[in-house]
Structure 1
Amino acid sequence: MSATSTVSEEQVLVVPTTELHAIGHFQGFSAEVDRYLKPLLASSALAYRPRSAMEEDPSFKQLIPYVLMRHTDSQGVVWLFTYQRGQGGGESRLRAKRSVGVGGHISTLDANHSQAAADAGLYRRGLERELAEEVRIEGPYREQMVGLINDDETPVGLVHLGVVHVFDVESPQVTPCEDDLADARFLPVNEILSQIEHYESWSQIAVRALFG
């Protein structure tokens, strides 16, 4: 794995799309986390490459942790943390759309140069860093990795591979740490489903697969 970086541009973790297809191509959501993620993270073809080039190159997939925060109230109603993407940084092609997912790229910021290249903790550090940058979760929660998203039907999805996590929060107290997470609040899953066309494609795929 190459950890070469430049001062001027973010270097993000990618895997050749052919590596995904060799395991088995899928469109939408797959619950087979172990089948896909373990071999992809162990691949010798895993590398850091300039983000701007990767955003336009479908021969690579950028690995993206995608965290849904769920709260089940005392009446058994399931709520999800949602927000509207602002006009600031991040993926410009998703601006102004609603989302239920928090997360982002794994980059050279997460590389531990004191360890071997195939560092098992790399993905975890990327997840924790992105989450801490975007939200503050008040209170305890339980976490599980539930699936992957591959969406080759949209320009954004064509160059990204999402790893879906669900955080079951004890209290619906999640505070955005970035202005780009606008109108942040918990909404009942049924309400989200009724307005699902206003959400970004990954959110549509995840909500329908997990709650539809």
Structure 2
Amino acid sequence: MPTDERVLVIPTDRFRAAGYFHGFRTADAAYRDAILDPGEYSFRPRSQVETQPEFKQLIPYVVLRCGDDLFHYRRGSSGTETRLRALRSVGIGGHISEADARGGDDPYRTGMLRELHEEVRIGGSWTDTFLGFINDDRTPVGSVHLGVVHLVELTSRDVSSREDALADAGFTPLVELAARVDEFETWSQFVLAELSRG
């Protein structure tokens, strides 16, 4: 996505008023509705909000699971977020653009589905559930982003990457990934810990 793209944000004050946290937070309906309230959305130039902690960019973070196995990949050199390159990830997704607001009543959901279908091809059927949120203000990337985690349950491992940014992709049992947690970006570390508890 070009850096002059206008992306979906909410005021950081809105996030703090709903209930500040660090790490992963499962969210009840009231908390989810407070964060994913279209009345609080605005679209701002990505080049500005990447360095403005007054806003949180809402980023869908979609985790693909088939049985006990999770889809994971290494962030390749063609990815737009240079601060995360070479790290492994279990999350698929990206920024919600202003164009997604023209795709229906819910620009967040429209953008989440667009990102998923742009990044991977899923051959079988699937269902998704809302899992929670991720926040990590300790890093420059985390201070301006809020992860919205979805768990997609697959009927088959027939998934392939559509982008060079998703390198060395495949499925591995959760227990094996959790044992290699240091290879993963922070958001994935939070998700792996949460799924391991379940």
- TM-score if structure 1 supplies the norm length? 0.88
1:12 equivalent in structure 2: 7
- Over the aligned positions, Cα root-mean-square deviation in angstroms equals 1.7
Change (3 A) 1:8 1:28: closer
Partner of 2:27: 32
CA deviation string 1:137-172 (max 9, x = no partner) = 111112111111111122111110111011111111
Q: Which moved more, 1:51-60 or 1:195-204?
A: 51-60
Which residue is 1:188 aligned to?
Answer: 173
**CA radius of gyration, larger in:** 1
Secondary structure, aligned partner of 1:171: coil
Look up the equivalent residue of 2:42 and give its one-letter code.
A
AA at the equivalent of 1:142:
T
For 1:37 and 1:12, how far apart are their aligned partners in 2? 20
Q: Would you say 1:98 and 2:79 are equivalent positions?
A: no
Do the aligned partners of 1:20 and 1:36 also contact (CA within 8 Å) in 2?
Answer: no
- Say whether residues 1:138 and 2:160 are aligned partners: no
| Structure-2 separation of matches of 1:66 and 1:8 | 20
Q: Distance in 1 between matches of 2:142 and 2:57?
A: 10
Distance (whole Å) between structure 2 residues aligned to residue 105 and residue 94 of structure 1? 15
**Cα offset for 1:42?**
2.4
**1:107 paired to 2:102:** no
The answer to whether the 8 Å contact 1:33/1:145 transfers is: no
- What letter is aligned with 1:89? G
Alignment match of 1:51 (pick from 34, 46, 53): 46
1:8–1:90: structure 2 CA closer, same or farther, 3 Å change rule? closer
Alignment of 1:151-162 (within 5 A): 151-162=136-147
Among all aligned residue pairs of Structure 1 and Structure 2, give the percentage whose two residues are the same amino acid: 48
Q: Which consecutive aligned stretches of 4+ in structure 1 deviate over 4 angstroms post-superposition?
A: none
Structure 1 distance, partners of 2:84, 2:93, is 13
Output the TM-score relative to the length of structure 2: 0.94
Answer yes or no: is the 8 Å Cα contact 2:59–2:94 preserved in 1. yes
Q: Distance in 2 between matches of 1:172 and 1:35?
A: 34
Q: CA deviation at 1:43?
A: 5.7
Deviation at 1:111, TM superposition (A): 1.2
Aligned partner letter, 1:90: T
Cα distance in 2 between the residues matched to 1:110 and 1:43: 12
Matched letter for residue 186 of structure 1:
F
Q: For the residues of structure 2 that align with 1:103 and 1:124, how far apart are their CA atoms?
A: 12
| d(CA) in 1 for partners of 2:74, 2:3 | 29
Equivalent of 2:70 in 74, 80, 84: 80
Secondary structure in structure 2 of the residue aligned to 1:205: helix
Classify the secondary structure of the residue corresponding to 2:156.
Answer: coil
Question: Aligned in 2, Cα 1:33/1:178: closer, same or farther, shift over 3 Å?
Answer: farther
Q: What displacement does 1:45 show?
A: 3.9
> Which one has a larger percent helix, Structure 1 or Structure 2?
2
User: How far apart, in 1, do the equivalents of 2:58 and 2:16 lie?
Assistant: 15
Alignment partners' CA distance in 1, 2:166 and 2:113: 17
- Counterparts of 2:155 and 2:24, CA distance in 1: 26
SS at match of 1:93: helix
Q: What is the aligned partner in structure 1 of residue 37 from structure 2?
A: 42
Unaligned stretches of 5+ residues in structure 2: none
